[in-house]
Structure 1
Amino acid sequence: MSQASINSSKTITITERDILHQIKLSCKIPEIVEQIITRKVIAEVVEKADIKVTTEELQKAANQMRAMIKLQDAQATWAWLEKHGLSLDDFEEIVQITLLSQKLTTHLFADKVEPYFYEHQLDYAGAVIYEIVLDDEDEAIELFYEIQEGEISFFEAAQKYIPDMELRRKGGYQGEVDRSEMLPEVSAKVFTANAPTILKPIITSKGVHLILVEEIIKPELNNKLRQKIMLDLFSKWLKQQVEKIQVVSHIEANSKVVK
């Protein structure tokens, strides 16, 4: 039970029932039910695989989590716990669940990363691109030929046609963009281009894209990508496990029981 100040002379009492009722009114129950199922699935598989965490691992993970959420000292940690209605045991459970999930990910998919990478490596390619998005196709085609013929540079065109100030200052520079982050219509053209080159205007639901491809980045199976692939595989696997679960729910006036 907690109390929140209304003004200097009044308080309002908030009970667990109030919180549960607000969750229902916020239409968050399906999301929370899925999170509960996910946690239970992980716990069950972890137990079957006999995956454990040591006290040292737990302490290290707790320190990393505190650093991640900027809890620099004990006072800040206690204030954060109180704000979120958590006990120290609750915090330890959060850390343990996170650590066990990481260990389960490695247990299930560490030996599957390389085969998956070589089969899907094009999905992890990237490209360094500059982009101008226009509303009018004819205008985009005209601008494309002007740039090709040297009447105007791509950077000059970006200064003229990009409304966002920061993006305009960078000449439409998007940086290194992963293939998975691009719209399918765009990626299909970008990754068949001979960089450096400017692409003919591409029409998508977001407008007409005029793209300068500076470089195609071939994927390298480094530690960062290895971790990403394992997480991708784990997420897909977990989604499949959750979808197999049959949830029987009953909503009453003030509670939801899930069996």
Structure 2
Amino acid sequence: MTEVIKINETPIFPENLLSHLRTYQMLPQLLRELVIDHAIAQIECSPEEIETAKRQYLTQNRLTDPKRIQGWLNHNRLNQEEFEKIAVRSYKLKKFQQETWGAKIESYFLQRKRDLDQVVYSLLRTKDNNTATELYFRLQNNEASFEALAQTYSEGPEAQTRGIVGPVPVTTPHEKIAKMLVSSEVGQLWPPVRVGEWSIIVRLEKLISAQLDDATRQKLLNELFSKWLEEQIQKITKIEPLNSETSEVA
């Protein structure tokens, strides 16, 4: 049975959908999903895996009781069979990622580890160079705590956290700050450095070394998959007029 969308009893015909997708900027997402379908088409799931897929999908989306599940189905206008297809598709995608890049994750992790490491650091910034220099010497001589000076003198949002920033990926701060942090020992206090309009003082409080746990492994799989997916979208998708010969062959 062919279905048609109606808005206030006005039908949206299939031949107009492409135009709507372009107008609403949804076409890239559709192409992405179609390429994924093409990639996972040959992946099989056992009955046990199908049940696992459904349980995982419900858990990930916090659908913990029948009433909530039914509300989610109604909101998305899905039936049970369609829900199962969505859950299994998500499971197949993870299998595809693992089968394609799983063996490369450890080496990729080593390449990316520096970017995945996190830091906690103290930051004090002021637009006045002289003030920054004075505060630095007070810190160096233990005349005041970093927390107290940051809360009183820092002119950025870190004043609200007594100068503490993080934990954040080491690549998150300004490039100049990041270079200081990755070359620091814990507790090392840096003299004022000019970053844009600011004179900043930085001290590394903690370095959190990235570990290849399940969450990091999935993050890296997603990264590799996303790079591959963008290449595939450019490589194998096209939009062209449907002529009469194509229609007859189809």
TM normalised by structure 2 equals 0.75
Structure 1: gaps spanning 5 or more residues: 4-11, 251-259
Structure-2 residue corresponding to 1:75: 67
Query: Aligned partners of 1:207, 1:105: CA distance in 2, in Å?
Result: 44
Distance, in Å, in 2 between the alignment partners of 1:150 and 1:192 is 23
Alignment correspondent of 2:29: 35
TM-score, normalised with respect to structure 1: 0.73
Partner residue, 2:52: 60
Partner of 2:233: 242
Residue in structure 2 matched with residue 9 of structure 1 by the alignment = none
Structure 2 counterparts to residues 179-218 of structure 1, below 5 A: 179-204=170-195, 209-218=200-209
Counterpart position of 2:244: none
Q: Are residue 229 (structure 1) and residue 226 (structure 2) matched? A: no
| Higher strand content, 1 or 2 | 1
Residue 153 of structure 2 is aligned to residue 150 of structure 1: no
Corresponding pairs, count:
235
- 1:79: how far off? 1.4
Cα distance in 1 between the residues matched to 2:99 and 2:168: 30
Q: Secondary structure at the match of 2:144?
A: coil
How far apart, CA to CA, are the structure 2 residues paired with 1:28 and 1:133? 43
Larger radius of gyration: 2
Q: 1:202 to 1:60 in 2, by over 3 A?
A: farther
RMSD after superposition: 3.5
Q: Which amino acid aligns with 2:59?
A: A
The reply to whether residue 113 of structure 1 matches residue 105 of structure 2 is yes
Q: % of aligned pairs identical?
A: 24
Could you list the per-position Cα deviations for residues 197-217 of structure 1 after superposition, in whole angstroms to 9, with x for gaps in the alignment?
Answer: 123345556955432201333
Code of the aligned partner of 2:79: S
- Secondary structure of 2:44's match? coil
Name the amino acid aligned to 1:92.
E
**Residue 106 of structure 1: CA displacement?**
0.4
- Letter aligned with residue 95 of structure 2: K
Compared CA separation, residues 64 and 203, structure 1 to 2 (3 A): farther
User: Structure 1 residues 57 and 209 mapped into 2: Cα distance closer, same or farther (>3 Å)?
Assistant: farther
Distance between the aligned counterparts of 2:128 and 2:84, measured in 1?
Answer: 56
Say whether the 8 Å CA contact 2:125–2:156 is kept in structure 1: no
> For the residues of structure 2 that align with 1:70 and 1:206, how far apart are their CA atoms?
45
Deviation at 1:103, TM superposition (A): 0.8
Structure 2 stretches lacking a partner, 5+ long? 242-250
Q: What is the distance in 2 between the residues matched to 1:62 and 1:163?
A: 50
Paired with 2:106 and 2:24, the residues of 1 have a C-alpha distance of: 38
